[in-house]
């Protein structure tokens, strides 16, 4: 009796595992059939293709081109043409530009409390060494504008400092390092064009 019950249990186990295997196979077949139908009825623009064609269609698709990065040290576009000194007020930067529009040198400056108006100016006078209106001994002074009787020009402190000036003072010295002052002195002679941009 026990032997028959055990045999019956094995038969039930075999038949139920066969049923599960059969149902699984049927489900896989149904899913494969539905997937085939879906891809056969899909528009060509969304249908996926296998094999080498997939890579061809992927490379043919337009891709977003990265925008070229803007060089923050490039000569400002709206600064005119030809040989000139360009002074960007907001960037606190100066460019010494040759006749072909190429920057020979660029450097940061410490602006004066009185700023020159944007536009085209000319170097009007120069001084080798003087005492600045703030009392600091300076060299290579290149003056190019006047605002309310305040002379505005580039200069370098002889001690190499570029301290922020007293904002309440009426001074027009745009300070730079001594090395940059040497380059400015050689480049910007009397009559040289100075373009001030915002």
Instruction: Please write the tens of the pLDDT for every residue from 98-135.
Output: 999 999 999 999 999 999 999 999 999 999 999 988 78
- What pLDDT band is residue 30 in, cutting at 50, 70 and 90? low
| Residue whose token pair is 């293709």 | 49
Closest CA to 87 of 171, 150, 170, 175: 175
Average pLDDT, the chain: 80
pLDDT of 191: 97
pLDDT, average across residues 13-35: 55
pLDDT digits (tens, 9 = 90+) for 81-100: 999 999 999 999 999 999 99
pLDDT of residue 94: 98
Among residues 176, 158, 164, the alpha carbon closest in space to that of 113 is found at: 164
* Token representation of residue 136: 């600091």
Asked whether residue 38 carries a pLDDT value surpassing 60, the answer given is: no
């Amino acid at each position: 009796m026990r032997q028959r019950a055990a045999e019956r249990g094995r038969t039930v186990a075999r038949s139920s595992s066969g049923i599960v295997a059969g149902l699984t196979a049927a489900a896989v077949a149904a899913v494969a059939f539905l997937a085939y139908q879906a891809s056969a009825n899909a528009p060509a623009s969304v249908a996926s293709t296998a094999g080498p064609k997939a890579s061809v269609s992927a490379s043919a698709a337009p891709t977003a081109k990265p925008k070229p990065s803007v060089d923050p040290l490039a000569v400002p576009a709206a600064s005119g043409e030809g040989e000139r000194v360009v002074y960007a007020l907001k960037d606190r930067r100066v460019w010494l530009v040759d006749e072909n529009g190429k920057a020979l040198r660029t450097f940061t400056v410490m602006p004066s409390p009185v700023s020159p108006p944007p536009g085209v100016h000319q170097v009007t006078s120069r001084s080798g060494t003087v005492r600045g209106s703030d009392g600091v001994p300076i060299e290579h002074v290149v003056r190019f504008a006047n605002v309310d009787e305040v002379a505005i020009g580039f200069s370098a402190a002889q001690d190499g400092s570029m301290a922020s000036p007293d904002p309440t003072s009426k001074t027009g010295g745009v300070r730079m390092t001594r090395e940059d002052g040497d380059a400015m002195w050689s480049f910007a002679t009397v009559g040289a064009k100075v373009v001030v941009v915002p």
